[in-house]
Amino acid sequence: MSEVASRRWRFPWPRSLMWQNLLLLVGLAVVIHACVLGVHLLLLRVSVIHTVSVVSNQLKMIDGSLSMIDPGRRSEAIAFLARHDLVAIEGAPPPASDQPIGPRPYAELAGSTIQRSLEPDIRFQWTHPAPGKGPVYWVQLNVAGKETWFRSSFRTSSNGQDPRLVSILLVLGLSALATVVAFFIQRRINRPLRDIGAATRTIREGGGQAHLPQYATSELSGLAEQFNAMVDSLRQAEATRAMMLAGISHDIRTPLARLRLALALQGGESEAMAARCISQVDAIIGQFLDFGHAGNGEPPMECDLNVLVQQTAAEFEAEGHPFALQLRPLPLLVLRPIAMQRVIQNLMDNALKYAGKGLQVSTWMEDGDVHLAVADRGAGLAAAERTRVRQAFVRGADSAGAGGLGLGLAIVERLLQLHGGRLQLLGRDGGGVEARVTLPGVAPGKGG
């Protein structure tokens, strides 16, 4: 039962590195201050006991000395003691206005210690401290058979303040100061981490400028220089790759176009088959280009997703492949329209290629997100394949005769990254697959 309870409850430890470090620093400061407070109170207790022991010894000495002094000179001795801040009041108890002191820290300790060290016939009493002074103690001595009250102030370094309260307030103040300092230190450490996170997110989403600023510290400055150099290297590699793809496309498609023209002029069934093969090669090259470019360079703009769906569905219907549309009203989204239309086209093309029946496209909004679903009534996908088929050049187990390179869903995923979206492949009741796209209500749409 205890293991179950321990698994259910966990300390709400923050996931943020900043708050974790801040809590550790504050906890360390509190522990240190608590230890200092404990040592301080212990030393204060020892100091009080030592001071009280000195006072009790002085009272014993005064009691013994006055008893041995000649009665005619006792008044002179008492006056001498009065000049040294020990006032004798013959036969008068503590004034009624001076109420006995309450439970002041260490006062009871001091009183009990003095009372135990004095003779049984010596009376001892605390009273309220005078303004600006420490507690006042009264001692009744029997001087030559005559009761005599002596009064004196018990001076302490706390000037009558509660030493425990002062110590606790000091610890709280130092802890608050440590918390503020730790917060600013951790925020200074956390700022570069946020910058790096934002820069990597910009790169992942295909954004433009992703350089880190120059920092004052040598360690962070070196990290920023290496990161910026990496970004420049990636940008150069991307530009080189795009140039290479464009060159390959031009060098291959140009002779293909000439060959298609020559075959068209000749006519015949074999020429028609050759033309279809050329079209397939051209489509394969187009897929490679789509996968390589992945929407980079297209500026984002406000679009109506339903309009893009209707335009794409009209193209499929013109080729004799109608899709049932269930489109609900949606807000305008910031999208790359050509890239998003490629997403819709690839999903509809997959549904047509691998199922061919029960074709349907739906859009709706839920919990602030926009959803687009392309569904079919085909054989469906096993749960283990739904993640694998989204990788480049990977196809489903039952798609051997469908053709293609296995780039369609990989292109969709790369294009959705530009919009902050995600793709899910879900099974349908009654068979089939639903390819569901989820987009934020306001897509990032950063320019590339």
* For residue 397, pLDDT beyond 80: no
- Looking at residue 443, its pLDDT comes to 45
Q: Based on the domain organization, do 144 and 275 belong to the same domain?
A: no
- The proportion of the chain whose per-residue pLDDT surpasses 70, expressed as a percent, equals 58
Q: Based on the domain organization, do 157 and 24 belong to the same domain?
A: yes
Is residue 358 in some structural domain?
yes
CATH number at residue 381: 3.30.565.10
Is residue 197 in some structural domain?
no
Q: Based on the domain organization, do 40 and 103 belong to the same domain?
A: yes
- Looking at residue 314, its pLDDT comes to 93
Q: 248 versus 420: which is more confidently predicted?
A: 420
Which phi and psi (to 5°) does residue 327 adopt? -110, 120
**For the ranges 38-52, 55-69, 238-252, 310-324, which has the lowest average pLDDT?**
238-252
* For residue 349, pLDDT beyond 70: yes
To the nearest whole number, what is the mean pLDDT of the chain? Answer: 73
Q: Based on the domain organization, do 307 and 249 belong to the same domain?
A: no
- Looking at residue 189, its pLDDT comes to 77
Is residue 240 in some structural domain?
yes
- Looking at residue 221, its pLDDT comes to 80
- Looking at residue 398, its pLDDT comes to 57
In angstroms, rounded to a whole number, what is the distance separating the alpha carbons of residues 389 and 395?
5
Q: Based on the domain organization, do 289 and 317 belong to the same domain?
A: no
Q: Based on the domain organization, do 274 and 410 belong to the same domain?
A: no
Q: Based on the domain organization, do 312 and 260 belong to the same domain?
A: no
Q: Which of 293, 316, 340 is the last residue of a domain?
A: 293
- Looking at residue 375, its pLDDT comes to 94
Q: 336 versus 282: which is more confidently predicted?
A: 336
């970004």: which residue's tokens? Answer: 231
In angstroms, rounded to a whole number, what is the distance separating the alpha carbons of residues 358 and 347?
14
* For residue 270, pLDDT beyond 50: yes
Strands 333-335 and 324-327, sheet pairing: unpaired
In angstroms, rounded to a whole number, what is the distance separating the alpha carbons of residues 260 and 272?
10
* For residue 355, pLDDT beyond 70: yes
Is residue 194 in some structural domain?
no
Q: Which residue range(s) make up the domain with 217? A: 205-293
- Looking at residue 391, its pLDDT comes to 67
- Looking at residue 208, its pLDDT comes to 60
Q: What are 165-211's pLDDT values in tens digits? A: 666 777 777 777 777 777 777 777 778 878 888 888 777 766 666 78
Q: What is the mean pLDDT of residues 237-262?
A: 68
Q: Based on the domain organization, do 282 and 328 belong to the same domain?
A: no
- Looking at residue 447, its pLDDT comes to 40
| Range picked from 22-36, 121-135, 166-180, 309-323 for highest mean pLDDT | 309-323
Q: 367 versus 382: which is more confidently predicted?
A: 367
- Looking at residue 178, its pLDDT comes to 75
Q: Which of 105, 133, 164 is the last residue of a domain?
A: 164
CATH number at residue 94: 3.30.450.300
Give the model's confidence band at 313: pLDDT under 50 very low, under 70 low, under 90 confident, else very high: very high
Q: Based on the domain organization, do 309 and 240 belong to the same domain?
A: no
Is residue 109 in some structural domain?
yes
Give the model's confidence band at 100: pLDDT under 50 very low, under 70 low, under 90 confident, else very high: very low
Q: 391 versus 355: which is more confidently predicted?
A: 355
Q: Based on the domain organization, do 26 and 72 belong to the same domain?
A: yes
DSSP three-state, residue 294: coil
- Looking at residue 304, its pLDDT comes to 94
Q: Based on the domain organization, do 21 and 127 belong to the same domain?
A: yes
Q: What are 41-89's pLDDT values in tens digits? A: 777 777 777 777 776 777 777 777 777 777 777 777 777 776 665 555 5
Q: Based on the domain organization, do 347 and 268 belong to the same domain?
A: no
DSSP three-state, residue 30: helix
Give the model's confidence band at 102: pLDDT under 50 very low, under 70 low, under 90 confident, else very high: very low
Is residue 195 in some structural domain?
no
Distance from CA of residue 419 to its chain's centroid? 25
Domains of the chain: total: 3
Is residue 407 in some structural domain?
yes
- Looking at residue 160, its pLDDT comes to 47
In angstroms, rounded to a whole number, what is the distance separating the alpha carbons of residues 347 and 280?
19
Closest CA to 323 of 298, 291, 348, 342: 348
Q: Distance between terminal CA atoms of the chain? A: 56
CATH number at residue 240: 1.10.287.130
- Looking at residue 326, its pLDDT comes to 96
Give the model's confidence band at 2: pLDDT under 50 very low, under 70 low, under 90 confident, else very high: very low
Q: Which residues contact 20 (CB under 8 A, 6 or more apart)?
A: 13, 14
Q: 149 versus 426: which is more confidently predicted?
A: 426
Q: Which of 238, 264, 293 is the last residue of a domain?
A: 293
